[in-house]
């Protein structure tokens, strides 16, 4: 949807094919932390008014460990305002509202979407809607269809390389209409596993605990969840936890994944279709945004100047940022979670690293610049 808006601004016609309907997407709970790059794009697209009113700007983030907590001042370390708390669902609402106002072409409930002939200059896409088959001949196809989508499969195995780690645990998360225990996020490493206190607003909590992959939601009534959450955060923070009934509860597996290249012929991959990060650091949506900023610029040159320089460097330029975010999310996951194989050595190394982060300004600056989001990769002269 960000790409559809960017293309409209560039005067390029696009059709968005969406398997679900609007209500489904707006109800689907995702992370809620926007990097400056995303905040600026919302604003640039004229979609930032509600975010400016309702979003919460966080200049700091907290790490808790063995009952102690320390704060990293992201704003001071980076000169950026920090992060914006504004749920992905809210972002989607604003994108759809804006799309409606502009008359962007979005086909909801598109079934069996399939790109064809992406290796040649005249690709097409077919889909079915309400039992009727459709076909669109186009100049480029962009696969923004997520990890499970069909686009990535259009790149021949001989071309595509994938890199992957599935983590041996998941995140059990709840949403509840109660104030969060702290006005900023708390990431916590506890011997029973990771916990995260985050929020959607000053009155709506989002809380997560690391859990086994074989856990079932039914086994986690709210009381058990809050007990575990408080235990991990420690007595001082637990005293500030306000319990309330959850209105959403889900388990998400954690994965690091990258597919290279992100372009094959006239097919471009963006977002989760090409890469997955574990949620520690909330980079998923923000990485999709940086992909499409680079891609929209490249497609603008392609359509308006008939230059292929931008599309030829899209994959390398997007991947340069993707890999750094993969590294940070993987590192931050390793620092804050308990792994089945965490032995004495690994545990001592975690403690040493957390201590280093607590006491070193240089380490905090490195953390902060990654957390608030690295700049887009420069274009290299080709």
- Please check whether residue 256 is in contact with residue 277, taking contact to mean a CB–CB distance below 8 angstroms: yes
Does the bond joining 273 to the residue before it have cis omega, within 30 degrees of 0? no
**Residue 373 binds ligand PHB, judged by CB under 6 A:** no
- Long-range contacts (CB closer than 8 Å, 24 or more residues apart) made by 238-246: 238/181, 240/181, 240/182, 241/181, 241/197, 242/178, 242/179, 242/181, 242/205, 243/176, 243/178, 244/176, 244/177, 244/178, 244/205, 245/176, 245/177, 246/174, 246/175, 246/176, 246/222
With respect to ligand PHB, which residue has the nearer C-beta, 47 or 282?
Answer: 282
The CB-of-265 to ligand PHB minimum distance in angstroms stands at 35
With respect to ligand PHB, which residue has the nearer C-beta, 33 or 140?
Answer: 33
- Which of the residues are catalytic? 58, 187, 279, 283, 371
The 318-357 contact track toward ligand PHB, x by CB under 6 A, reads: ----------------------------------------
The 176-195 contact track toward ligand PHB, x by CB under 6 A, reads: ---------x----------
* Binders in 273-302 for ligand PHB, by CB under 6 A: 279-282
CA neighbor of 117 nearest in space, from 134, 145, 99, 140: 140
**Residue 104 binds ligand PHB, judged by CB under 6 A:** no
With respect to ligand PHB, which residue has the nearer C-beta, 48 or 281?
Answer: 281
Q: Identify each DSSP E strand in 219-294 by its residue range.
A: 246-260, 263-264, 267-269, 275-276
**Residue 205 binds ligand PHB, judged by CB under 6 A:** no
The CB-of-111 to ligand PHB minimum distance in angstroms stands at 30
Please report, in angstroms and rounded to a whole number, the separation of the first and last CA atoms in the chain: 30
CA distances from 350 to 74, 234, 354 (A): 22, 18, 6
The CB-of-205 to ligand PHB minimum distance in angstroms stands at 10
With respect to ligand PHB, which residue has the nearer C-beta, 106 or 185?
Answer: 185
* Binders in 15-44 for ligand PHB, by CB under 6 A: 31-33
Contact residues for ligand PHB, defined by CB under 6 A: 31-33, 185, 198, 206, 279-282
């Amino acid at each position: 949807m960000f790409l559809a808006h960017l293309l409209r601004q560039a005067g390029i016609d696009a059709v968005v094919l969406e398997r679900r309907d609007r209500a489904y997407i707006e109800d689907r709970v995702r992370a809620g932390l926007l990097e400056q790059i995303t905040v600026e794009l919302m604003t640039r697209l004229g979609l930032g008014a509600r975010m400016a009113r309702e979003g919460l700007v966080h200049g700091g983030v907290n790490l808790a460990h063995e009952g102690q907590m320390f704060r990293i001042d992201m704003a001071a370390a980076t000169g950026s305002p920090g992060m914006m708390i504004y749920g992905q669902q809210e972002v989607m609402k604003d994108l759809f509202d804006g799309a409606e106002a502009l008359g962007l072409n979005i086909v909801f409930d598109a079934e069996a979407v399939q790109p064809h002939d992406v290796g040649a200059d005249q690709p097409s896409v077919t889909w079915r809607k309400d039992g009727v088959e459709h076909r669109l001949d186009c100049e480029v196809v962009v696969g923004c269809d997520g990890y499970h989508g069909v686009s990535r499969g259009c790149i021949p195995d001989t071309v595509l390389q994938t890199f992957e780690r599935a983590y041996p645990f998941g995140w059990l998360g709840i949403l509840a209409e109660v104030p969060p225990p702290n006005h900023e996020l708390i990431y916590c490493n506890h011997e029973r596993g990771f916990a995260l206190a985050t929020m959607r607003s000053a009155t709506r909590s989002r809380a997560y605990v690391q859990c086994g992959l074989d856990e079932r939601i039914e086994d986690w009534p709210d009381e058990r969840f809050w007990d575990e959450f408080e235990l991990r955060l420690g007595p001082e923070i637990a005293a500030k936890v306000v319990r309330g009934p959850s209105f959403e509860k889900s388990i998400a597996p954690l994965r690091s994944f990258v597919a290279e290249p992100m372009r094959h012929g006239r097919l471009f991959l963006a977002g989760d279709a090409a890469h997955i990060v574990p949620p520690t650091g909330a980079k998923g949506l923000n990485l999709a945004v940086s992909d499409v900023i680079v891609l929209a610029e490249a497609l603008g040159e392609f359509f308006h100047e008939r230059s292929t320089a931008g599309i030829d460097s899209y994959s390398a330029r997007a991947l340069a940022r993707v890999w750094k975010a993969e590294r940070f999310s993987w590192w931050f996951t390793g620092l804050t979670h308990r792994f089945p194989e965490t032995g004495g050595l690994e545990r001592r190394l975690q403690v040493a690293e957390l201590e280093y982060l607590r006491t070193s300004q240089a380490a905090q600056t490195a953390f902060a610049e990654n957390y608030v989001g690295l700049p887009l990769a420069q274009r290299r002269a080709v």
